[in-house]
Structure 1
Amino acid sequence: MTTRRAFLAGLGAACAAPLLPSALRADDAATVLTATDVHVSNYPTVEAVRWIGEVLERETGGRVRLRQYHSGQLGREAEAIDMARFGAIDMTRVYSGALNNAFPLTTALCLPYAFDSVAHMRHALDSGVAQTVLDGFGSRDLVGLAVYDSGARCFYNTRHPIVTPKDLQGLKLRVASSDMFIELVRLLGANPTPMSLGDTFSGMETHMIDGAENNMRSFHSSRHFEAARYWSQSEHSYAPDILLISRRSLDALRPSDRDLLIDTARASVSQMRRLWDESEGAARQQVAEYGIELNEVDMDAFRSAAQPIRERYLRQPELQTLYRRIRDLA
């Protein structure tokens, strides 16, 4: 298995020449696109991108293939975004919260309580909201291929159940490196600690942090349930994932291959959703059987406490317009 160190060492050795994406470096008989994800091999987003690779290879007779590096083999999401922008890798799946600062339109998808449910989120994404956000990536050497929903983000911690925002007082919680999520967690009364997903388990074990916020599937696949015994169904955000490709890599493909990739990426959304629904239910059952305490929260109290965040961000006209479209589809 290729490690991040080996991959980057090879990349560094090639830097004496102009940096070119895989689609240009590979021989035309076998264009190999690289794709990264911090999630494990059987995670729905990883499986969806694997399906894209299978379709590409089949439809091009093996001329275009996809090589995946899952489980964070090539580093964190922030690093993957930069590597894709500069053509060091071709494709990456990243959490939309990690994109808020550089691509403001993604913030509308992450705002607290913008979506009421998974059904509302999927309806809104499929009604043009996803495409509007994807179109916003072209200005910074990236192309948005697909929006993969990822369930409801909730709080979990090592100390006690969270029913109202006051139960968050004093807790140190891992958050993604997003200004909005840092502000939200602080507003709700906790102490936000930006940290990578890969460092979160050890952070809880060593008491550097008391918990985090994420979706049930990631809570299970990262085995955070072995450290955090309390899951509170706050559903404070339905922030989805985004599949991106380097503009250089996409432009380097034959026009027919480019169209095939774009169409297949869009078709992969339904594949991802099917896998998500199946695996999320299984994950919830398994963490319950492990003895994790699952509780509902005072949703009205959380919505009210998060209102100042929405009001502040919605002063931006573009975000307000997109948010209104989302709410109109509730």
Structure 2
Amino acid sequence: RLGETHVADYPTTKGNYEFARLVEERTGGRIKIEVYHSSQLGQEKAVIEGVQFGAIDFTRVSISPLSAFAPAFDALQMPYLYRGEEHMWKVLNGSIGEEFLASLEPANFVGLAWYDSGARNFYNSKKEIKSVADLKGMKIRVQESQLMMGLVSALGAVPTPMPFGEVYSALQTGVIDGAENNWPSYFSTSHYEVAKYFTLDGHTRVPEILIASKISMDKLSKEDQEIIKQAAKDSMPYQIKLWKEFEKVSEEKVRAAGSIITELTPEAVVEFQNAMQPMYDALSPELQEVVKKIRDVQ
């Protein structure tokens, strides 16, 4: 069984189905993985715990909640860490990515593969954001994570944690001024209707990860474990391609609906990056070392 929070036709869910198809095909039907989309097996945190104890075999999650089990994952989510998308994939597909997948074993997980979830950007109902100063005092919804709260505070805005489902009405009633997310979430939640200013600052690229229960994997032969690991890796290009298409459609739809899209000047990007320095300084020496390794990847 594989637990997934997204709906059936979402790119990550389709990636899960491709993974399951490859495993079934390559084991001659001996191993069948059933994908439970739309949080049928529970919310993300509960599913992760289920995988840890072997009650659920696989799940696809954002790396954010995993940092509770393997703190080094915080380094992968630091703001403005990557020079761009290509840099991120070089890191994840290289030795650093492999070390991260392996680092989950002590917590009883087997890291299998990385999926794309794009870059997150700020959007709001008030005005175009062209500089850090424009964000000052704005109430911005964030996920319930220290990292995201720290990021928004560092930019002079006021972080407002709340569940994702409440954001639309909070934007509509002015409880918050803005939020941050990727193109598809901005579109699919209809947030563009109530917050038409979208700034392409790409502050974080937080990849998704496919993980297995070490308890479930240990019951299988070495050969079958290898088949599963390879099938997970081989489902990546398919998911990444679907994500790209999904992003493009979302962007076209919100532009057509009249959203105002702001690209930052190179100078403004540097200003946003510099505002993050205190967050980097606050990292442990171990995490600072990881960050340095990531930045050194060419």
Q: Which runs of 5+ in 2 are unaligned?
A: none
Contact residue 144 and residue 244 of structure 1 kept, 8 A: yes
Q: 2:111 aligns with which of 137, 141, 144?
A: 144
Q: 1:323 aligns with which of 284, 291, 294?
A: 291
Question: Displacement of 1:79 after TM fit?
Answer: 2.4
Cα offsets for 1:163-215 (capped at 9, x unmatched):
22222223322222321111111121222233343443344345443332122
Listed as ranges, the matches of 1:181-196 within 5 Å are 181-196=148-163
Counterpart for residue 217 of structure 1:
184
Q: 1:256 aligns with which of 184, 200, 223?
A: 223
Does residue 311 (structure 1) correspond to residue 288 (structure 2)? The answer is no
Q: Residues 244 and 174 (structure 1 numbering): CA distance in 2 closer, same or farther, change over 3 Å? A: farther
Contact residue 97 and residue 181 of structure 1 kept, 8 A: no
Cα offsets for 1:109-157 (capped at 9, x unmatched):
1111110111111112222221111111111121111122322111112
> 3-state DSSP class of the match of 2:50?
helix
Question: Displacement of 1:64 after TM fit?
Answer: 1.5
Q: Residues 163 and 289 (structure 1 numbering): CA distance in 2 closer, same or farther, change over 3 Å? A: same
1:306 counterpart letter in structure 2: M
Q: How big is the alpha-carbon RMSD for the aligned residues of Structure 1 and Structure 2?
A: 2.0
Listed as ranges, the matches of 1:27-66 within 5 Å are 34-66=1-33
Report which stretch shifted further, 214-223 or 290-299: 214-223
Q: Residues 61 and 198 (structure 1 numbering): CA distance in 2 closer, same or farther, change over 3 Å? A: farther
Aligned length: 295
CA distance in 1, matches of 2:76, 2:171: 28
Contact residue 280 and residue 288 of structure 2 kept, 8 A: no
Listed as ranges, the matches of 1:70-85 within 5 Å are 70-85=37-52
Listed as ranges, the matches of 1:212-291 within 5 Å are 212-291=179-258
Contact residue 98 and residue 176 of structure 1 kept, 8 A: no
Q: 2:67 aligns with which of 100, 106, 110?
A: 100
CA distance in 1, matches of 2:138, 2:206: 22
Q: Residues 51 and 101 (structure 1 numbering): CA distance in 2 closer, same or farther, change over 3 Å? A: same
Q: Which runs of 5+ in 1 are unaligned?
A: 1-33
Question: Displacement of 1:262 after TM fit?
Answer: 0.9
Counterpart for residue 129 of structure 1:
96
Contact residue 81 and residue 295 of structure 2 kept, 8 A: yes
CA distance in 2, matches of 1:163, 1:70: 38
> 3-state DSSP class of the match of 2:59?
strand
Question: Displacement of 1:272 after TM fit?
Answer: 1.6
Q: Residues 292 and 131 (structure 1 numbering): CA distance in 2 closer, same or farther, change over 3 Å? A: same
CA distance in 2, matches of 1:261, 1:176: 32
CA distance in 2, matches of 1:224, 1:68: 28
